Amino acid sequence: MNLFLLYLLLVKATLTSFSGLTSLAIVRQDFVVERQLLTDQQLTTAIAAGRLAPGPNGVYLVGVGYFLAGYPGAAMGWLALLTPAFLSIPLLGWLRRHQAHPACQRVLDSVLLASAGLSLASALPLAREAIVDARGLGLAVAAAVVLLRTRIDSFWVILGCAAIPLLYSALI
C-alpha cells in the first residue's frame, strides 16, 4: 500500500475522532469494508495490542499501519496519531476565545454525541466477529459490567478476559 495514502487515511480517522477508539469506525470502513486490505480479526488484534501498550487509546493505529505495510506502515500510523495533537494547539486557542458562545456549545455537544455514535457503530461489527459462543458472550457482558460499574482500568479487564479462557483450557 502507498505509504502517503495510508497516512492520509489514518490521519482522516484521527482528525475526525476525539478519543482514540472513536476513529475505529472510519478505520474499519476504509481498510476492512471498502478496500478489504485488513480483516476484522487483524483490526481486533491491533486494538488489543494498542490497549495493552502504554499511551493513548489510538495507538492501535500503529498496529493497523504495521499490518498494512510493515514497519514503514507502523511509522505512518504513529505520525497519523501525532498529527491532531500538533493541530489542536491553535484550535484550543480559538475555542478558548469562543467557548461561551451558544453556537460553539452546540457544536461541541454535537461532536460529543457523534463520537459516541461512532464508537457504538464500530464496536458492534467487531463484537459480532469476536463473540462466537455463549461463553464469549458471558465474558463480554461481565467485562462490560465491570467497566461500567467500577473504576478498574481497561488494561486489567482485558488481561482478566484473556486469563479466564487460558485457565479454563488448562483445567480441562
Q: Does residue 137 fall inside a structural domain?
A: no
Query: Using one digit for the tens of pLDDT, what is the confidence trace for 38-71?
Result: 999 999 999 888 888 777 777 889 999 999 999 9
- Where the chain has pLDDT below 70, the residues are 18-20
Instruction: Supply 118's cell numbers.
Output: 461512532
Tell me what pLDDT residue 4 has: 96
Tell me what pLDDT residue 19 has: 62
Tell me what pLDDT residue 51 has: 83
Of 74, 60, 79, the C-alpha closest to 154 is 60
Chain position carrying cell 505512518: 76
Q: Does residue 151 fall inside a structural domain?
A: no
Cα–Cα distance for residue pair 57/46, rounded to 1 Å: 11
Q: Does residue 14 fall inside a structural domain?
A: yes
Q: Does residue 8 fall inside a structural domain?
A: yes
Q: Into how many domains does the chain fold?
A: 1
Q: Does residue 113 fall inside a structural domain?
A: yes
CA atoms within 13 A on the CB side of 139: 19
Q: Does residue 164 fall inside a structural domain?
A: no
Q: Does residue 143 fall inside a structural domain?
A: no
Tell me what pLDDT residue 59 has: 87
Tell me what pLDDT residue 18 has: 62
* Boundaries of domain holding 102: 3-130
Tell me what pLDDT residue 132 has: 87
Q: Does residue 144 fall inside a structural domain?
A: no
Please spell the DSSP secondary structure of 128-151, one letter per residue.
HHH--SHHHHHHHHHHHHHHHHS-
